[in-house]
Amino acid sequence: MKTIESNERSTGMGATHYTAVLLDGKWVRISDHPTTRYLGRSAGEERYTIDVADDAITATFYRSNSGRETVNASNGLYWESFDEAQYWASGAATPVTCPHCGRAL
C-alpha cells in the first residue's frame, strides 16, 4: 500500500488543482473517495490523504484561470485536457487489435 496526498484548490474563476486515482475506468478525486481522510486546510488548499494499492494509477489535474488544462499521471502519461485523460481512463483509447499485425489483443 502507498499513501497519496491531494492538495486541492479552486479559485472560483475557473482554476482548479487536485489529485485523482483511477478506479473502474474513471478518475476519482481523492476528496470524493469514500476512504479519504481530511487533513485540514493549509495555505489556501484543502488537504486529503488516501491509502491505495502500490500499482494504483494516480494523476494530478490542473486548470489555469485561462482554461489551460494539464494532467500528469503516475504511469508517465500526460494529457493537455481533462477530457483526454478521462477518455484514456475509460479504456476507449486501448486498441482491440494490434496496430502492427491486426491480431486481436
pLDDT tens for the chain, 105 residues: list them.
Answer: 999 999 999 887 889 999 999 998 899 999 999 899 999 998 889 999 999 998 899 999 999 999 999 999 999 999 999 999 999 998 876 655 555 666 655
Residues spanned by the domain of 25: 2-89
Domain-embedded: residue 103: no
Phi, psi of 41 (to 5 degrees): -110, 135
Domain-embedded: residue 49: yes
C-alpha cell at 12: 472560483
Domain-embedded: residue 29: yes
8 A C-beta contact, residue 48 and residue 20: no
The CA-based angle 33-17-86, given to 5 degrees, is 65
Provide the domain count of the chain. Answer: 1
